[in-house]
């Protein structure tokens, strides 16, 4: 067998193959004997039919089969010989073959693009960490205070005010359809469901009734009544006011392991700082990828892009279905969808390939121990899940790949030239 | 005159060659197996084979094959009876019909 291997461009390899007559004859004989051993002709027991009869009857079929097999075998061997990493099945062309004579063909194989890229250490980056200000801590503390508020009946049967919590019975009528609800809890002035509804409660005393008409906004949760007019009849049952606890050391003790209010503040500050740090780290990862993409330029194999685009489109459609959104026909058109997602697929593939290339150069891998550790920390005590993740190869591959990407990114951050900058607000950049 | 006359009389006598495992084995004795018309004798068969294939026939054996019983719904039926002829030809000669198949 003659096999010429030619690198057409970064992501395409062409094989030119010639297979000699002798090899084809031997293969034909082998295939014929295999057919002979199992074929069942009328008048003969299985495998007992005479050779010349089988040969004449199955000639065409056997030849087709061996040509196909020889082609795929030749491609497989070429791939092994030249150490090629294909990403798609070979596209075979120019098949020259006639009745057990010489066979020649060309095969075009798309391969993983070769990446020559070394300049990934000491990437200059600016890490923006959002400063935690005293106001942020105060806001958190206030929220805590709200959460720990106690409800008290209002004194002297005074009318409802903003900030009160009312327990009401109400009826509403939309298009002759009446609905009613009892013992409904409404926090006045929190803008939860219908702001106008809450406003209408202001000034009502316990035991009083009120009837009013409201226009339900178009984007209301319940589509049956959205955009229509509703007539409400409300009866105030109880009215309570919130009593906020004083922020002092006593409050701190209620929170748990804290002694003084300053300790609580410190804990809040640390939590916020950790969140900001994490966010900054995420942004940094996006920036690294953007940087790598801008500096490492190479072309991608078409089939790979197509496949990835198809996956993204599918995910998009799945997402739409899950959200119960039905977009117009022209959006769902396959072509326009592909056009829309192709750039995204390309950047995703490119970044993955670059990261994998770096992993290979730096010998970064995810070991089985690390994977197991991840399982046991994530599904502690859930034997079913643990077993599932231990035994499912597919899940393992997916997760280890994810972990690998994470590891490479961390490696890149560790080796990057990072300037930390404290800012009051994060400047959002477009991140792939 | 019998009905097996005329230009193509031989093809009215010899109906088809038979390919089975047993017929295949008989080839080692230079014997070929055919289905023939039900009412012909060995002389007519010898004549017909010599006419069609241009070979010298040394021996003809025949046997009547009774048709198999078949049932269609409630009714009993029968596949037709037929005659089988084992024709041996002179050593060194071949009937090409079987070779290229």
A46-72 pLDDT per residue, tens: 888 888 888 888 888 888 888 888 888
The pLDDT value given to residue A337? 78
* Stronger pLDDT, B59 or A361, i.e. the higher one: B59
Question: Per-residue confidence at A193, pLDDT binned at 50, 70, 90?
Answer: low
Question: Per-residue confidence at A422, pLDDT binned at 50, 70, 90?
Answer: confident
Domain ranges of chain A: 2-110, 150-243, 258-423
* B22–chain A nearest CA distance, Å: 9
Q: What is the pLDDT of residues A221-246, one digit of tens each?
A: 676 777 777 787 888 777 777 777 77
* Stronger pLDDT, B90 or A265, i.e. the higher one: B90
Q: Is residue A212 within 8 Å of A171, Cβ to Cβ?
A: no
Would you tell me how many other CB atoms lie within 10 Å of the CB of residue A273? 15
Residue given tokens 């316990």 in the structure block: A206
Q: Is residue A247 within 8 Å of A261, Cβ to Cβ?
A: yes
The pLDDT value given to residue A431? 45
B-chain residues within 8 Å CB-CB of A43?
18-21, 23
Q: What is the pLDDT of residues A283-340, one digit of tens each?
A: 888 888 888 888 777 777 888 888 888 888 888 888 888 877 776 666 677 777 788 8
Q: Which secondary-structure segment (H or E) carries A31? A: helix A21-38
Q: Which secondary-structure segment (H or E) carries B31? A: strand B31-36
pLDDT score of A429 more than 60: no
The pLDDT value given to residue A428? 58
pLDDT score of A417 more than 80: no
Query: Given B21, B100, B101, which is nearest A44 (Cβ)?
Result: B21
Which is it for the CA torsion A54, A58, A62, A65, positive or negative? negative
Residue-level length of chain A: 432
The number of C-alpha atoms within 13 Å of A214 and in the hemisphere containing its C-beta is: 23
The pLDDT value given to residue B57? 94
pLDDT score of B42 more than 90: yes
Searching chain B, which residue's CA lies closest to the CA of residue A46? B21
Alpha helices in A50-171 (DSSP H): 51-81, 134-147
A258-423: CATH topology? Trigger factor, domain 2 (1.10.3120)
* CATH architecture group of domain A150-243: Roll (3.10)
Give percent above pLDDT 90 in chain B: 50
d(CA A319, CA A329): 16
In this predicted complex, what is the ipTM? 0.75
Token pair belonging to B83: 């005659």
- Which of B33, B4, B13, B8 is CA-nearest to residue B95? B33
Our measurement of the distance from residue A271's CA atom to the centroid of its chain's CA atoms, rounded to an integer in Å, reads: 27
A2-110: CATH topology? Alpha-Beta Plaits (3.30.70)
The pLDDT value given to residue A290? 82
Residue given tokens 């005393």 in the structure block: A205
Q: What is the mean pLDDT of residues A117-126?
A: 75
* Stronger pLDDT, A376 or B57, i.e. the higher one: B57
* B31–chain A nearest CA distance, Å: 16
- Contact between chains at A48 and B20 (C-beta distance less than 8 A): no
Question: Per-residue confidence at A142, pLDDT binned at 50, 70, 90?
Answer: confident
Least reliable range by pLDDT among A130-134, A282-286, A425-429: A425-429
Four-point Cα dihedral A347, A352, A355, A360, nearest 10: -140
The pLDDT value given to residue B87? 94
Long-range contacts of A226-231 (CB under 8 A, 24+ apart): A228/A174, A228/A175, A229/A174, A230/A172, A230/A173, A230/A174, A231/A172, A231/A173, A231/A174
The pLDDT value given to residue A427? 61
Q: Is residue A329 within 8 Å of A336, Cβ to Cβ?
A: no
B-chain residues within 8 Å CB-CB of A53?
19, 101
Q: For A125, left (φ over 0), alpha (ψ -120 to 50), or beta? A: beta
Helix (H, G, I), strand (E, B) or coil at A290: helix
Alpha helices in A82-165 (DSSP H): 134-147
Total CB pairs under 8 A between chain A and B = 19
Two domains, one topology: A2-110 and A150-243: no
- Contact between chains at A43 and B21 (C-beta distance less than 8 A): yes
Would you tell me how many other CB atoms lie within 10 Å of the CB of residue A305? 20
- For β-strands A177-187 and A165-174, DSSP reports them as antiparallel
Query: Given B19, B100, B101, which is nearest A43 (Cβ)?
Result: B19
d(CA A366, CA A368): 7
Give percent above pLDDT 70 in chain A: 94
0.80 cut: is pTM over it? no
Q: Find which of B17, B18, B21 to mutate to test the A interface (most A CBs within 10 Å of its CB).
A: B21
Searching chain B, which residue's CA lies closest to the CA of residue A56? B101
d(CA A150, CA B63): 113
Q: Is residue A86 within 8 Å of A5, Cβ to Cβ?
A: no
d(CA A421, CA A350): 29
A-chain residues within 8 Å CB-CB of B94?
none
Least reliable range by pLDDT among A259-273, A321-335, A391-405: A321-335
* Backbone angles phi and psi of A428, in degrees to 5: -75, 130
Question: Per-residue confidence at A217, pLDDT binned at 50, 70, 90?
Answer: confident
The number of C-alpha atoms within 13 Å of A395 and in the hemisphere containing its C-beta is: 12
The pLDDT value given to residue A432? 40
- Angle, vertex CA B52, rays to CA B10 and CA A58, nearest 5: 115
Query: Given A41, A48, A56, which is nearest B100 (Cβ)?
Result: A56
The pLDDT value given to residue A330? 65
Which residues make Cβ contacts (< 8 Å) with residue A24, sequence separation at least 6?
A66, A70, A100, A101, A102, A103
Burial B9-42 (b: 16+ CB within 10 A, else e): ebebbbeeebbeeebbebeeebbbbbebbeebee
Give percent above pLDDT 90 in chain A: 0
B-chain residues within 8 Å CB-CB of A56?
100-101
A-chain residues within 8 Å CB-CB of B21?
43-45, 48
d(CA B85, CA B75): 32
Which is it for the CA torsion A54, A59, A61, A62, positive or negative? positive
d(CA B10, CA B49): 7
* Stronger pLDDT, A200 or A28, i.e. the higher one: A28
Query: Given B18, B24, B100, which is nearest A50 (Cβ)?
Result: B24
**Mean pLDDT for all residues in chain A:** 79
Question: Per-residue confidence at B63, pLDDT binned at 50, 70, 90?
Answer: very high
The number of C-alpha atoms within 13 Å of B41 and in the hemisphere containing its C-beta is: 2
* Backbone angles phi and psi of A258, in degrees to 5: -100, 150
- Contact between chains at B20 and A44 (C-beta distance less than 8 A): yes
Q: What is the mean pLDDT of residues A141-149?
A: 78
* B7–chain A nearest CA distance, Å: 31
- Contact between chains at B21 and A48 (C-beta distance less than 8 A): yes
Residue given tokens 């008409």 in the structure block: A213
- Maximum mean pLDDT: which of A191-195, A422-426, B48-52: B48-52
């Amino acid at each position: 067998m003659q096999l010429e291997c030619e690198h057409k461009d970064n992501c395409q390899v062409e094989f030119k193959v010639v297979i000699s007559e002798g090899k084809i004859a031997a293969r034909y004989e082998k295939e014929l004997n295999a057919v002979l051993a199992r074929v069942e002709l009328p008048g003969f027991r299985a495998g007992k039919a005479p050779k010349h009869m089988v040969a004449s009857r199955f000639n065409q079929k056997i030849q087709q089969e061996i040509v196909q097999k020889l082609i795929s075998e030749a491609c497989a061997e070429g791939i092994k010989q030249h150490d090629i990493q294909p990403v798609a099945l070979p596209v075979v062309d120019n098949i020259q073959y006639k009745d057990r004579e010489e066979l020649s063909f060309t095969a075009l194989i798309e391969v993983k693009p070769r990446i020559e890229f070394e300049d990934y250490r000491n990437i200059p980056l600016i890490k923006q960490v959002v400063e935690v200000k005293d106001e942020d801590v105060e806001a958190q503390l206030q929220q805590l205070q709200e959460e720990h508020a106690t409800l008290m009946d209002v004194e002297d049967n005074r009318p409802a005010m903003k900030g009160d919590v009312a327990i009401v019975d109400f009826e509403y009528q939309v298009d002759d359809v009446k609905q009613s609800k009892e013992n409904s809890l409404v926090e006045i002035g929190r803008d939860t469901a219908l702001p106008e509804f809450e406003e209408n409660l202001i000034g009502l005393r316990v035991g009083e009734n009120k009837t009013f008409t409201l226009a339900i906004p178009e984007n209301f949760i319940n589509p049956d009544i959205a955009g229509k007019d509703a007539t409400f009849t409300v009866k105030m049952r109880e009215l309570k006011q919130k009593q906020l606890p004083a922020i002092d050391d006593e409050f701190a003790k209620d929170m748990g392991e804290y002694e003084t209010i300053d300790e609580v503040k410190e804990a809040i500050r640390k939590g916020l700082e950790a969140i900001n740090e994490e966010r900054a780290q995420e942004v940094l990862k996006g920036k690294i990828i953007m940087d790598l993409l801008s500096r490492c330029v190479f072309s991608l194999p078409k089939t790979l892009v197509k496949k990835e685009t198809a996956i993204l489109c599918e995910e998009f459609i799945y997402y739409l279905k899950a959200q119960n959104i039905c977009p117009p026909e022209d959006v769902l058109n396959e072509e326009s969808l592909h056009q829309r997602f192709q750039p995204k697929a390309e950047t995703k593939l490119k970044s993955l390939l670059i990261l994998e290339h770096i992993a290979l150069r730096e010998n970064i891998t995810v070991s089985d121990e690390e994977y197991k550790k991840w399982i046991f920390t994530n599904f502690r005590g859930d034997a079913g899940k643990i077993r599932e993740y231990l035994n499912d190869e597919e899940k393992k591959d997916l997760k280890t790949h994810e972990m690998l990407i994470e590891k490479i990114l961390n490696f890149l951050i560790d080796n990057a030239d990072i300037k930390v900058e404290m800012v009051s607000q994060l400047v959002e950049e477009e991140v792939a | 005159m019998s009905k097996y006359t005329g230009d193509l009389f031989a093809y009215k006598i010899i109906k088809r060659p038979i390919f089975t495992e047993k017929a295949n084995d008989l080839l080692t004795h230079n014997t070929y197996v055919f289905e023939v018309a039900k009412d012909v004798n060995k002389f007519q068969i010898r004549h017909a084979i010599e006419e069609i294939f241009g070979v010298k026939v040394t021996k003809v054996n025949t046997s009547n094959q009774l048709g198999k019983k078949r049932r269609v719904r409630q009714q009993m039926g029968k596949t037709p009876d037929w005659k089988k002829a084992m024709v041996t030809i002179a050593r060194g000669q071949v009937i090409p019909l079987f070779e290229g198949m």
